[in-house]
Structure 1
Amino acid sequence: MSLYAVNKVCYRVVREPEFRRELARAPEEALRAARPPLDEAELAALLAGDVGRLSLMGANHFLLHQLGRFRVLGLDLPTYADRIRAAHR
Structure 2
Amino acid sequence: MDERLNEEYERLRGGRDLNPVDVSAVLAVAGLSLRVKDAQRMIAAEGIMLERSDGMVEHPALMVEKRASAEIRGWVKDRPDLFGEQKKSRPRREKPEFKIV
Same fold, TM-score > 0.5, yes or no: no
| Structure (1 or 2) with the larger CA radius of gyration | 2
Query: Greater helix percent: which structure?
Result: 1
TM-score for the superposition, normalised by structure 2: 0.28
